[in-house]
Amino acid sequence: MKLFLGKQLSYMLEKNKSRNNLKAFAKFLVFVASVIVVHSVVFHFIMVYEGREYSWLTGFYWTMTVMSTLGFGDITFSSDLGKLFSVLVLLSGIFLLLILLPFGFIRFFYLPLMEAHARTLPQRHIPPETTGHVLFTSWQEIERGLAERLTVLGIPYYVIVPDPVKANELHIDGVPVITGELDATKTYKNAAIHNAKALFLSDTDAANTGIILTVREIDTEVPIITLAEEDESVDLLELAGATHVLPLKRRLGEQLANRVQSMRSQVHIIGKMQNLLIGEFPVHGTPLAGQTLQEIHLRRKTGANVVGIWKRGQMQPVRPDTVVDEWSLPVVVCTMEQMDSINRMVRTSQQNTNPVLVIGGSKVGRATAKELRENGLKVHLIEHDPEKAAKAEQCADKVFMGEAADREVLEEAGLDLASSVVLTTNDDATNAYLCIYFRKLKPSIRIVSRITYERNIETIHRAGADFALSYSSLGQELVLAILQNREFIFLGSDIDFHILDVPPSIAGTTIRESNIGARTGLNIIAIDFHNQTSIAGPDTKLPPKARLIALGTAAQVNEMHRIFD
C-alpha cells in the first residue's frame, strides 16, 4: 500500500497542474494557521482585559474547540466583547474548517491523487485495434534493449507481468504493461495475440515451454521466438510450438570465435543483405598495414566499399585519410566476386598455427572452443572447475586446470605463443581484470571478451579488449533480424544496419547533394530499389520509394527522421 501511494504521489508531482494545485492548497493551509494564531493571541488579551490569565497553549486549545464547533464550555468569556469575539471565531471556523478546508482538500489533493491512481493502474488488456505489436513475458536486459530499438522502428510492444506491484512500477516508469497470469489463455487474448507480430520469451526452458503450449491452445499462427538455455531443449521447444528457438549461449560462443584471427587473412562474412555481403578482414600481416584507404584504392581495385573500421574494440567511421593500422579490422560491403578480389589482396602465406587461449569452460567457453577448432585453430582452454574442465575436453585440444590469473598456468597453456585470448566468464568484473592482466603480460595479444551487461562495454574496452560482445546485444540483433525478416548481421556495437525509406524531401538527389552523412552521421552503404540492392557511392542517386541501407546508431536514425521527415 505504501508503495502504491508513493508511486501515485510521485506521478502526481510530475504534473505542473498538480504541483500548482498543491501550492494553492498549501497557501490556504498557511492562511488557516495564521487565523488560528491571531485568534489565540486575541483570546489571551481579552482574558487579561477580564482579569483572567491563561497560557498560550490554552488559547490555542480554546480557539480550536470553538472553530471546530466542539465547544466544550470549560472556558468562556464573561464580557460582551469576549462573547462577540467567540461568535466571530465560531463563524470563521465554520467557513474555513467545515466548508473551505474539505473543498480544498478534495479539489487540490484528493481528486488529483485519484486521477494519478487511475493513470498508474496497469491495463488488463490492450486496445483491441492494436496490431503488429511484440509481446514480452519478462523485462530483462534483452527486452529493455529491444524495446528501445522497436521504438525507433515504430513497432509497438507490451510486457505481460503477472505481479500487479511489479506491473505498476513498470507502468509508472512508462513501460507499456498488461497484467495477467502467464499460464492463462485469457491473458493472451487480452494481449491481442491474434494480431501480434511476435511473442518473445526469455525465461527458463521449462517456463517457456509452458507459455508456448498455452499460447498454441488459442493461436497456431503467431510467431513465437524463444531463447534456449540448453542445446537439448531446442527440439523440445520446437515440438511445443516455438517458431524460432535461439540457443543464445552457443551463438555467443560462435560469434566470439569468429572474431579471432583465423588461419589465413581473408574476408570473414558477418552477414548478408540480398545479393550483398557484409564482411570484415584482418590487416595484421598484410601489405595494407600502415596505409590510408586512399592509398589502398580498395573501391577502385575491387568495387567493394569500406563502411567502417574496428580499432581497439570501437567501430569508427572512415574517410579517405583513415589509416589502416596493423590491428584494425575494416568492415566492407561487397559482392561475392568483390570479396574474392579483396582476398587476393590481403591473403598471406603466413598461417596462424599458434594456440588460442579460451578462458572459461562454461557453455559459452565450450561453444567458443568448438567453433575455433572448426575454423582450423588450435585451442587451449583454462578452467578451474573440475566438472566443467572434464566437459571441455571434447571441445578443446588441451584443457588446463587452474586460475586464469595464475601466471604459471598461463605459461603452461602457451601464453607466449598465443596470438589471441577469448574471455568467456559471465562476470564482467573478472573479464575486465583479465583484460588488464593479459594486456600487461603480452601487449600484442588480441583480446576478445564476453560481457554480460551492455552497460559495461566501454569499461571492458578501456581495460584493453580488442572486441567485446554482449549477450544482450546479440540476443537483440537475432530477434530483430527475425522481426524484420532479414539476414542476421551483427557488428557487436551500438552501431547497426538499418533499412529506411528514402525521405521524399531528398528523393532524386545524390547522396553527396543530400548531405545526409554530415547532417546525421549515418553511412549510406547501399540502395534497395525494385528488389535490387546495389552498393552506394557519393554520386549515387536516391530514387523515390527506394530504401536506404544505412550503418549507424538508433540516435542517428532518429536524427534523420527529425531532419528529413
> What is the architecture, at CATH level 2, of domain 356-473?
3-Layer(aba) Sandwich (3.40)
d(CA 506, CA 267) in angstroms, rounded, equals: 34
226-240, 304-318, 324-338, 393-407: segment of lowest average pLDDT: 304-318
> What's the sign of the alpha-carbon dihedral 429, 394, 488, 301?
positive
Q: Alpha carbon 32 to chain centroid distance?
A: 50
Contacts of 226 (CB under 8 A, 6+ apart): 200, 201, 202, 208, 212, 237, 242, 244, 245, 246
Model confidence pLDDT, tens digit, residues 253-301 = 998 988 886 546 778 887 777 778 888 888 877 888 888 988 888 888 8
Give, in order, the Cα–Cα distances in Å from 407 to each of 393, 437, 466.
22, 10, 21
pLDDT at 4: 46
Q: Alpha carbon 63 to chain centroid distance?
A: 60
Contacts of 246 (CB under 8 A, 6+ apart): 225, 226, 227, 228, 475, 478, 479
d(CA 10, CA 4) in angstroms, rounded, equals: 10
Q: Give me the CATH topology for the region 2-119.
A: Helix Hairpins (1.10.287)
Confidence of residue 207 (pLDDT cuts 50, 70, 90): very high
Confidence of residue 556 (pLDDT cuts 50, 70, 90): confident
Question: Which residue is it, cell 583484460?
Answer: 435
Q: Is the pLDDT of residue 2 over 80?
A: no
d(CA 61, CA 68) in angstroms, rounded, equals: 11
Residue 264's identity, in one-letter code, is R
Please state which CATH class domain 264-346 belongs to: alpha beta
Superfamily of the domain at 495-564? Regulator of K+ conductance, C-terminal domain (3.30.70.1450)
d(CA 108, CA 314) in angstroms, rounded, equals: 53
| Sequence ranges of the domains in the chain | 2-119, 134-246, 264-346, 356-473, 495-564
* pTM of the predicted model as reported, rounded to 2 decimal places: 0.72
CATH code, residues 134-246: 3.40.50.720
Model confidence pLDDT, tens digit, residues 182-197 = 999 999 999 999 999 9
- Of 251, 218, 255, residue with least CA distance to 449: 255
- Of 114, 64, 113, residue with least CA distance to 89: 64
**β-strand pairing of 291-292 with 323-324:** antiparallel
Q: Is the pLDDT of residue 352 over 70?
A: no
Tell me, yes or no, if the two domains 134-246 and 356-473 fold the same way. Answer: yes
pLDDT at 1: 43
